[in-house]
């Protein structure tokens, strides 16, 4: 990626990421576990295209095939630059680079998570296309209009101020650029209680996008199509969840994943995709 395109504020972040490139902390420990398990798996079978870590980075268990529909609006080429907000360990960002060939910058508020994502990306051979920086969604260290797309995949409900994050997404997006959101929304008047999550209904989320200035909004309920289709990925995630439950350091992560999957299975959470444009 060309650092000449970065602001002075943004340019300071990669130095921090590289300094943290040896994983440490809870999130980086999770990344190391993912890498270890995948290394063992590769000895018997190659991972699916676009999923070098078999989707273990993804918390809810929804299928990565949903992302094909999320990418339906907008052009993805080598010169396209996507911003993924609250990207976690980067499963979606790497999928974008591998499947669509674009460059991706992912953010996370946890420096150790950014470091873990960068390490997984380096090991997957994608460091030239994908990188992660520590950044608060409501105060992004990027110049206005830098990105051709902004993606927010099942993470906006974790943000303390979703409206401020959407305003920043609008600022970072260039004119005519696409905002793509995959959201876990409440299916009724009483949203499920998930620690650290602020789940809202689809109507409220759409209203937030409109207040942020997004136009030509399209929505689609993908709940019925949400479960992962690949038996290989399903089995890998089940083994990973078992490993998380067996390690006291990772029990909270396992509990969150189980709670999300239970809410989706019970119907108290639904999966919606929302596409819009910056005029």
**Which tens digits make up the pLDDT trace of 225-251?**
999 999 999 999 999 999 999 999 899
Judged on CB neighbours under 10 Å (0-12, 13-18, 19+), 188 is: exposed
| Tally of domains in the chain | 1
* Full residue range of the structural domain in which residue 83 is found: 3-277
- What is the maximal distance between C-alpha atoms in the chain? 50
* Site of tokens 């209203």: 207
Confidence band of 15 (pLDDT split at 50, 70, 90): very low
CATH number at residue 97: 3.40.50.150
Give this prediction's pTM. 0.88
Confidence band of 12 (pLDDT split at 50, 70, 90): very low
CA distance 16 to 21: 9
């Amino acid at each position: 990626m060309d650092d000449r395109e970065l602001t002075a504020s943004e340019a300071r972040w990669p130095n921090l990421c590289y300094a943290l490139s040896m994983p440490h902390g809870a999130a980086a420990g999770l990344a190391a576990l993912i890498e270890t398990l995948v290394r063992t798996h590769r000895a018997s079978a190659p991972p699916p295209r676009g999923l070098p870590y078999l989707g273990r980075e993804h918390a809810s268990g929804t299928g990565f095939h949903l992302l094909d529909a999320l990418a339906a609006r907008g052009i993805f080429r080598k010169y396209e630059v996507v911003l993924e907000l609250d990207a976690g360990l980067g499963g979606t960002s790497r999928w974008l680079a591998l499947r669509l060939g674009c460059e991706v910058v992912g953010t996370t508020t946890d420096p150790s998570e950014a470091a873990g994502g960068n390490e997984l990306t380096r090991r997957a051979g994608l460091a030239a296309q994908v990188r992660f920086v520590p950044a608060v969604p409501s105060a992004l260290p990027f110049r206005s209009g830098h990105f051709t797309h902004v993606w927010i995949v099942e993470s906006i409900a974790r943000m303390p101020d979703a409206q401020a994050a959407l305003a920043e997404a609008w600022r970072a997006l260039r004119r005519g650029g696409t905002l793509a959101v995959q959201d876990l929304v409440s299916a009724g008047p009483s949203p499920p209680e998930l620690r650290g999550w602020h789940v809202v209904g689809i109507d409220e989320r759409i209203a937030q996008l409109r207040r942020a200035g997004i136009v030509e909004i399209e929505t689609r309920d993908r709940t019925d199509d949400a479960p992962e289709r690949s038996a290989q990925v399903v089995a890998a995630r089940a083994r990973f969840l078992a490993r998380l439950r067996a390690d006291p350091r990772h029990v909270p992560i396992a509990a969150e994943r189980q709670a999300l999957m239970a809410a989706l299975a019970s119907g108290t959470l639904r999966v919606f995709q929302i596409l819009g444009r910056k005029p």
